[in-house]
Amino acid sequence: MNNISENVIKDEKLNRWYTGADFADDVRLIREELLDLHVGLGDVVLVCLPNTAAYPEITQAIWEVGAVMHPIAATTPEVELQQELAEHDYVASIVGGELVDAVLDDRLAIVTALHLKTYPLLHIIRDRKLMGNDAAVPQEDDLALIMNTSGTTGKPKRVGLTHRLLLNGVEHDIESHKMTASDTTMVVMPMFHINAQAVAILSTRLSGGKIVVAEKFSASKFWQQVKDNHVTWVSVVPTIINILLINQKANENYSDDIKLRFVRCSSFALPLDKLTAFQTRFHTQILEGYGMTETASQCTINPFDSPKVGSAGKPFKTDVAIMLDGKITHETNRIGEIVVRGDHVINSYMDPHPDSFKDGWFLTGDLGCLDDDGYLFVEGRKKDIINHGGEKVAPAQVENSLSQLNFIKEVSVIGTPDTLYGEAVTAVIITQGNQDEELERQKVIAHAKETLANYEQPTRIFFVDDYPRNATGKVIRLKLREQIMSSLVGRVG
């Protein structure tokens, strides 16, 4: 950060800017507490917090002692949180007061409370069963960040990002987005995502700009927040673009004196009419790109001076190719699996997944093609993962939860097209007998709220007698999806 007396980060919920000195003071408090608790080199710290200006301070303090941060969603159900803690060795957890009891759960631990300028009461819970390491300055190839990304089995894959991978990815972000110290970004994406962590926060800190942290996206407040804080760019997903276009308060609060340099949009392609309508209505440029947790943010981005609508842009400091019949090629206009490699791309997961890598390439599981001008077009997903407003939902995770209900004989979860969220999480259920469908629907909704994160909860529920199956009895998801799509009108739950 630059001059310590200048404002560098704002927490919208608290409606307060913090200076570089405020930021440094909070980092020092957190770091000293971690040192006192003997959290050091290579120790993994779980962070479960909503969006807050304290997030980047916590990140820096953890890295300064050489530890590794693993952020998860603040909306993670307590059962899921406890499962995460049981399966992996977290030397410490950093949470808000409402989750202290869930983390403790009869665990032998030391609980400390910190009063930060950016966060009134932060709790660090130190697991006493784990020794911890001495603090040390991390090396470039030491782990910095662990993030969960959903897999087709429903078991999240753990992505380990080193300091080198993150630095390379962030430097590419800065160059491709032409970021400078005069920029101010607003974070509306969840901070446990790579999008907020790398594309918005780390890139802005490294380029010397300012950060405005919104607890969550609010359509009615968005344009006023942009105007009041002189925001110059923001990173979003297509769902946010759609909401801003149709939300009455958002349109009322927009004024022509608002000047965004650009809006970065990724996750799934925007339809031409939506992209054009947004750029015309709000007088800014949308830059679409393609990336993922495994690549420490982006692989491709549309150039400012020559964007191609419908594409995810051109590769930027990344080698992008297509795998056809098991062979990797740069052949154009052929749809196959998108594969990538570069100085910001992982070459292994934290747990073994050798089928995700081939000859130094990462196999994304997404389908797409490169056109004659080198632009990437993402055509769909090889995997069953549902893309709900930028959140990746593993069907098996939702199926495992809903299967706990005793009236459900079988459940299949698929993604169905949704104009607002890209895909809706759709539960297709076979029940044990003839019962009240509306009552069962309400039970499904209630159970999902208790056991699943917000984005995993089904927004469409259908009851059927059977599924289309192959000769071995396995559900043919593509045919099931087609059947449900044909009956969507008037039957959405």
Residue (of 272, 207, 204) closest to 235 by Cα position: 204
Q: Which residue has the tokens 């992008």?
A: 320
Coil/strand/helix, residue 412: strand
Across the range 364-381, mean pLDDT stands at 89
Domain ranges of the chain: 22-138, 165-381, 386-486
Please give the span between the terminal C-alpha atoms of the chain, in angstroms, as a whole number.
Answer: 49
| DSSP 8-state class, residue 142 | S
The pLDDT tens digits for 166-204 are 999 999 999 999 999 999 999 999 999 999 999 999 999
CA 361 to chain centre: 22
- CA 189 – CA 212 distance, rounded (Å): 12
Where does 37-109 have alpha helices with state H?
54-64, 78-87, 100-104
What is the reported pTM? 0.82
Amino acid (1-letter code) at residue 427: A
Sign of CA dihedral 67, 72, 76, 82: negative
pLDDT grade for 473, boundaries at 50, 70 and 90: low
pLDDT grade for 153, boundaries at 50, 70 and 90: very low
Coil/strand/helix, residue 185: strand
Burial tier of 64 (Cβ tally within 10 Å: 0-12, 13-18, 19+):
middle
**Pairing state between β 422-431 and 408-418:** antiparallel
- CA 426 – CA 481 distance, rounded (Å): 9
Q: What six digits make up the tokens of 394?
A: 């593993």
Position 323 pLDDT exceeds 50: yes
Q: What is the CATH number of domain 386-486?
A: 3.30.300.30
pLDDT at residue 238, as a whole number: 85
Give the DSSP H/E element, type plus range, for residue 362.
strand 361-370
Across the range 23-48, mean pLDDT stands at 98
The pLDDT tens digits for 226-282 are 999 999 999 998 889 988 998 999 999 999 999 899 999 987 677 788 899 999 999
Provide the CATH topology of domain 165-381.
Rossmann fold (3.40.50)
| 22-138 matches 165-381 in fold | yes
Per the model's pLDDT, the better-predicted residue between 434 and 403 turns out to be 403
Q: What is the CATH number of domain 22-138?
A: 3.40.50.980
pLDDT at residue 2, as a whole number: 55
- CA 21 – CA 43 distance, rounded (Å): 27
Q: What six digits make up the tokens of 223?
A: 């344009």
